[in-house]
Amino acid sequence: MDEALEQTRREQRRLRRLATALMLPLLLVAAVILWLRPGAPRTIQLYTGPAGSTDAAPAERFASAVRARGLGVELVATSGPRECLRRVAGTGGDAAALVSGDVEQLTGDAPGGKPLTSLGTVSIAPLWLFAAASLDSADPRSLASRRVGSGAEESPSGLLATLYFRDHGLDPARIVRASLDEEKNWAAALADGRIDAVFVAGLPGASAVRPLLESPAARPVSFERAPAYRVRHPWLLPITVPRGVFDLTADRPPTDLQLLAAGVNVVVPKRMHPAVVKVILEAARESARGGTEQPQKMIAERFDLPTPEYATLPINAAAQAYYDRRNEKDAKYLVFSLLPYRVARWIDRWGVVLLALAAWLLLILKVLPELVKANFTLHLNRAYRTMAEIEKGSTGPGADRAALLARLAGIDRASLSVPVPRRMGQEYMDFRQFLHDLRARLEETSGSGREGER
């Protein structure tokens, strides 16, 4: 095979390898990013306490608001807050838990507590102390010798009862702990004297609270030093229940009630995807102000839910950016704001590959043409130098014009295989014309020489 033609083909192969080499690093970077950066999940698991608990009460409404935004939610009931936290700590970022009370105390020093963060408080659960109507006083000293009940030890009412007893020098071991089913019967227990006072948690319409509010045998007790509890225990929030709000005719309650409340926090792993955080917080805002229970709406507006103010765990970085509105200028935030979650999730996951391909295409369209142009110029210059040697050699004595014509034919064949850049067509035509003229001169000289020999 002619040497010039083989040289041209080698250059074409080098160009193809170069184009491939330009693409490989971009795809490698895209693959590394995909491996290191978790994509937005299609579905998350939402852990709550058992059915009827304070944690589970807002779960279904909250989950429905999340699903309406395109993110699937699987509700999973657990035995209690500690199991919720343990399960979330064991996931890679596609799970959340609704936990009320002192979450930091519930996590303790367990290894699973360290990777957990809070998205903020999304619901408020009032905490009540009801005393038997027959009791003259329900102050801490009078309760020292009474039978006092509460929910499970890790429930909001159980945590409050424990703190209440400890803060007033009483023994928490004396508290009668009840299951969720037993809490529904507290009104009957107060009426027949089996219990003298009880701590419960929930909105006025909750199954554990409503019977106590409606029972003439029970009366709600005001926490007169509610602000002091807030200082001593930051997870406790003081709220005021106006006089007569339950029954204006009977004037119930007869005075303003000072209650304490526990925030229901959304607990997530540190590495939860920012887009999921945004969806959860927007759903929380909607569900906190939705529903038909008026106290829920009033509480949501009063505490501006969701809010980072009453969380006892560190606030997730993406949640803090959401509250500070720092992510409104972020391209990813705009994608998830303007597009449906499922579409934005696909773009977020594969957009880096699309960008890599776009960058490679840009290289092909911008860089490769310049390389083709350089290759063409080099080939043209090399061909011109070779033709200059042929022209010079043809004038010498004893020149082998047949061999020179063969070399010109090789240059001709090689030039036909060289990619011609669009803007260098004139240069190529000039080259072809020079080649044609040189061949014509050689052929003419060769013909004259043969006639002279004859």
Query: For residue 33, is it within any domain?
Result: no
**Do 127 and 72 lie in a common domain?**
yes
Would the pLDDT of 199 be above 90?
yes
The helix/strand/coil state of 263 is strand
**Do 150 and 289 lie in a common domain?**
yes
Instruction: Please say which residue of 290, 311, 338 terminates a domain.
Output: 338
Per the CB < 8 A criterion, the answer to whether 282 and 235 are in contact is no
Q: How many residues does the chain have?
A: 454
Question: What's the pTM?
Answer: 0.66
What single-letter amino acid sits at 101?
Answer: G
**Do 295 and 402 lie in a common domain?**
no
Would the pLDDT of 329 be above 90?
no
Per the CB < 8 A criterion, the answer to whether 269 and 115 are in contact is yes
The pLDDT, as a whole number, for residue 200 is 92
pLDDT band at 148 (very low <50, low <70, confident <90, very high): very high
pLDDT in tens, 396-416: 777 787 888 888 888 888 777
**Do 15 and 73 lie in a common domain?**
no
Would the pLDDT of 1 be above 50?
no
**Do 273 and 406 lie in a common domain?**
no
Q: What is the mean pLDDT of the chain?
A: 79
The pLDDT, as a whole number, for residue 43 is 87
Q: What percent of the chain has pLDDT over 70?
A: 76
The pLDDT, as a whole number, for residue 27 is 66
**Do 382 and 406 lie in a common domain?**
yes
Query: For residue 253, is it within any domain?
Result: yes
At CA 25, angle to CA 24 and CA 31, rounded to 5?
90
pLDDT in tens, 60-80: 888 888 888 888 889 998 888
Query: For residue 346, is it within any domain?
Result: no
Burial of 390 (0-12, 13-18, 19+ CB in 10 A): buried
Average pLDDT over residues 44-70: 84
Q: Which domain holds residue 255?
A: 43-338
Residue 229: CA atoms inside 13 Å, Cβ hemisphere, count? 26
Average pLDDT over residues 171-196: 87
More confident residue, 8 or 210: 210
Instruction: Please say which residue of 279, 313, 338 terminates a domain.
Output: 338
What single-letter amino acid sits at 32?
Answer: V
Query: For residue 29, is it within any domain?
Result: no
**Do 98 and 228 lie in a common domain?**
yes
**Do 293 and 242 lie in a common domain?**
yes
Average pLDDT over residues 37-53: 80
Q: What percent of the chain has pLDDT over 90?
A: 6
**Do 13 and 101 lie in a common domain?**
no
pLDDT band at 420 (very low <50, low <70, confident <90, very high): confident
pLDDT band at 343 (very low <50, low <70, confident <90, very high): low
Q: How many domains does the chain contain in total? A: 2
Query: For residue 36, is it within any domain?
Result: no
Residue 333 maps to which CATH number? Answer: 3.40.190.290
Query: For residue 34, is it within any domain?
Result: no
pLDDT in tens, 210-255: 899 888 889 899 998 888 988 888 888 888 888 887 778 877 778 8
More confident residue, 312 or 113: 312
The pLDDT, as a whole number, for residue 345 is 66
**Do 292 and 421 lie in a common domain?**
no
More confident residue, 113 or 31: 31
Instruction: Please say which residue of 291, 311, 338 terminates a domain.
Output: 338
Strand partners, 124: 263
